[in-house]
Each structure stands twice: as C-alpha cells, then as structure tokens.
C-alpha cells in the first residue's frame, strides 16, 4: 500500500490565518514542513479518507489525478474533515469524462449530509454506503474496511478505520483521543497484524496519557505501548502522527525530536509512505 498525506493539520491549519502565536508566526517565515493544511490521506491513489477544505489546492500541489479515486471514507462530519460541498464538482454536467462512480462510506450523519448537498445525484457518479461500527465491508476498490469507534464527538459515531488489502493492514486512527475500550478489545481479539498506523496528535504535552477527543503527545506514546503490549503492533509496525495543531506549541522539527526515541514518525503535507 501507498499512503499519501494531502494534509496533516488539525481544524485551524498551520498557520491559523487568525492567529499570531509563536508557532503560526514562525511558520509564516520558515514555511516548509511546518505549513499544514487540514487532514486527508489517499491510499494507492484510489481510496481517500476525509475531504479537507483545501482539497483542490492539495491535489494541484501534489499533481494527483483524483478521477482515479474509487472509495471515499468519512471519519466524521466536523468541517475540517467533511468538505462535502466540493463533491458537487463531480456531479453530471460539472465533471466530465469520469468513467466510474465514487463510493462514499460513513456514518448516518455523513451519508445524509452528502445526500442533502448533492440533490438529484446520478448513480453513475456516486454510491452511498452506511457503515456500522465493527462490521467489515469490502469496498468497490477491493479493500476490507472495518469502522471502529473513536473517542471524539459525542453526538455522532466517529470512526477510525482498519483497512486491509493484498496482505497489508493500515490503521487510520483519527480523530480520536485514547481509543474506547470496545475498540481496544476488538483490535486485540481480531489478531490482525498492523503494518502501519496513523495516530493523530492534536495536543502537545497534557500531563495526561489518556486524553479524550484528541490525543496528546503522552497519549500517542501510551497508545503505542498498549498496542505493543497487546500484540496489536509488533516491532516492525510503523507509527506516524498527523493532525497537528499550532496550539501544541511545537514546530515540525521539534515534534520529530520528541517522537524519535519512540521510533514514531511525524507526517507532513505531501509525505508518501509505502508498505
């Protein structure tokens, strides 16, 4: 599998246009890997997770042909992940020479939100699929996808995703704080070998290794330890952090230094990882 990180920021982006904190001011000067757009990932050029407000910019920046994408997974409906209005550009009479429908997957709020924004959609362009927690489905592109409950918003089922294909397994683990116990139990009982995991790290140091809503630096490290203790990870599992916020108080290189002793990589916009 190939993972391409379109964006690696939390909801404000870095720099936050309305912020003059030290991180945002330094980022405006240093640029490079410190500039972060809102989070989204593409796998193997054909499966996308979440749809950021900067989507059009992201795919132009990285020269990605998004007409190849067959599956779109929504983790939840916060606006930094659910920029569903841009999907109107894929409707008949707006996008041309598209030869397959986009299969969209998510919770009930996400699917209904799509249907509200795309009235009169053509089945030649969209197929909508409601996901139930812990129930595995096979996507149109041939991935086995299991939505696992996240520890995030209280008013909807927010999902992290276990994604399997061709003997490789990826765990896309955000938005979520320390995972719900049901999710830990499912991962342990499943016996799945995870090759690569993406955890979010919105918070900096919180003096709390089981944060809710989002992960702190300590929560990422504690979650990695439990994954290893429960044999969900092994010594070859790659762990990458994403969904970073300016409020964490750290630039990209500082985050790299913090996580390096734990063999955890810090993602940046445009990063490509292959497993």
pTM value is 0.97
Among residues 213, 275, 268, 272, the alpha carbon closest in space to that of 244 is found at 268
Query: Is 93 in contact with 76 (CB distance < 8 Å)?
Result: no
Q: What class has domain 2-272?
A: alpha beta
Backbone φ, ψ for residue 71 (5° rounding): -120, 140
Q: Where are the domains of the chain?
A: 2-272
Q: pLDDT of the chain along its 275 residues, tens only?
A: 999 999 999 999 999 999 999 999 999 999 999 999 999 999 999 999 999 999 999 999 999 999 999 999 999 999 999 999 999 999 999 999 999 999 999 999 999 999 999 999 999 999 999 999 999 999 999 999 999 999 999 899 999 999 999 999 999 999 999 999 999 999 999 999 999 999 999 999 999 999 999 999 999 999 999 999 999 999 999 999 999 999 999 999 999 999 999 999 999 999 999 99
CA distance 215 to 196: 18
């Amino acid at each position: 599998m190939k993972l391409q990180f379109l964006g690696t920021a939390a909801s404000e982006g870095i720099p936050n246009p309305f912020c003059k904190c030290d991180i945002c001011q330094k980022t405006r000067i240093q640029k490079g890997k410190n500039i972060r757009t809102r989070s989204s990932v593409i796998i193997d050029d054909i499966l996308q997770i979440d749809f950021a407000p900067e989507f059009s910019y992201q795919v132009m920046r990285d020269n990605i042909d998004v007409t190849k994408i067959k599956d779109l997974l929504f983790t939840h409906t916060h606006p930094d992940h659910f920029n569903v209005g841009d999907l109107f550009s894929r409707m008949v009479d707006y996008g041309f020479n598209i030869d397959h429908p986009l299969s969209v997957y998510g919770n009930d709020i996400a699917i209904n939100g799509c249907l509200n924004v795309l009235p009169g959609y053509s089945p030649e362009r969209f197929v909508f699929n409601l996901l139930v927690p812990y129930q595995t489905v096979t996507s149109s592109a041939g991935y086995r996808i299991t939505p696992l409950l996240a520890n995030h918003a209280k008013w909807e089922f927010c999902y992290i995703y276990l994604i399997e294909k061709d003997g490789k397994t990826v765990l896309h683990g955000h938005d979520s704080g320390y995972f719900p116990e049901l999710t830990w139990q499912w991962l342990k009982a499943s016996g799945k070998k995870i090759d690569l995991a993406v955890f979010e790290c919105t918070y900096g140091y919180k003096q709390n290794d089981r944060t809710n809503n989002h992960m702190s630096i300590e929560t990422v490290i504690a979650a990695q330890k439990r994954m290893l203790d429960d044999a969900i990870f092994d010594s070859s599992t790659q762990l990458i952090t994403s969904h970073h916020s300016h409020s964490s108080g750290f630039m990209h290189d500082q985050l790299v230094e913090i996580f390096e002793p734990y063999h955890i990589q810090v993602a940046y916009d445009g990063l490509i990882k292959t497993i």
